[in-house]
């Protein structure tokens, strides 16, 4: 029987149900990534799915990783199967972002990978992600769940 995974943390400003809709995908991608790299939960380089969730929120308000937006293109991304201005589905975006962060940082830990992923375009990028990661809380109890709001058109 498959083990039921707890939901990922909820971050301030992202409490609506639809904003948690990619949790299973984020967990799947981090599980695959950690397995590929040989990282276990006790490894200092283990990628916590909650960190990837906080990172995705930093990138674009939850619209996955924006690994290939205009202005961020460099030719080395072709080596990872990307094309300029490519529109990616969330799974591809997450996978390509992890590959790019690994490559770009010559991986020496997540703080360095996060800093290098941004390329210096946003001051305090890595610190902002770490602060969001630390601010996450466990899923809400049923009585704390806010009334549903319609999903915005651009979300």
Q: Model pTM?
A: 0.81
> What number of other Cβ atoms are within 10 A of residue 27's Cβ?
18
pLDDT in tens, 102-126: 998 899 999 989 988 876 678 888 9
Counted domains in the chain:
1
Question: How many Å separate Cα 151 from the centre of its chain?
Answer: 20
Tell me whether residue 58 is in a domain.
yes
Tell me whether residue 86 is in a domain.
yes
Tell me whether residue 155 is in a domain.
no
Please give the average per-residue pLDDT across 142-154, as a whole number. 50
Distance of CA 90 to CAs 22, 24, 35, 67, 140, Å? 8, 12, 20, 11, 25
Tell me whether residue 143 is in a domain.
no
Nearest to 51 by CA among 13, 84, 85, 8: 8
Tell me whether residue 21 is in a domain.
yes
The rounded distance, in Å, linking the Cα atoms of 65 and 63 is 7
Judged by average pLDDT, the poorest of 7-16, 39-48, 124-133 is 7-16
Share of the chain above pLDDT 90, in %: 37
Task: Show the domain range for 122.
Answer: 17-138
The CATH number of residue 90's host domain is 1.10.530
């Amino acid at each position: 029987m498959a083990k039921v995974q707890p939901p990922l943390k909820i971050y301030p400003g992202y409490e609506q149900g639809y904003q948690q809709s990619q949790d299973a995908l984020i967990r799947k991608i981090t599980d695959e990534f950690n397995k590929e790299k040989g990282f276990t939960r006790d490894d200092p380089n283990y990628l916590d799915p909650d960190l990837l969730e906080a990172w995705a929120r930093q990138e674009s308000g939850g619209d996955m990783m924006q690994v290939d937006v205009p202005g961020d293109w460099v030719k080395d991304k072709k080596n990872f199967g990307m094309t300029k201005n490519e529109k990616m589905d969330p799974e591809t975006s997450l996978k390509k972002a992890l590959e790019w962060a690994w490559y770009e940082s010559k991986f020496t830990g997540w703080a360095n990978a996060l800093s290098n992923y941004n390329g210096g375009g946003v001051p305090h990028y890595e610190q902002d992600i770490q602060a969001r990661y630390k601010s996450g809380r466990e899923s809400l109890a049923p009585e704390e769940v806010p009334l549903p709001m319609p999903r915005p058109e651009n979300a």
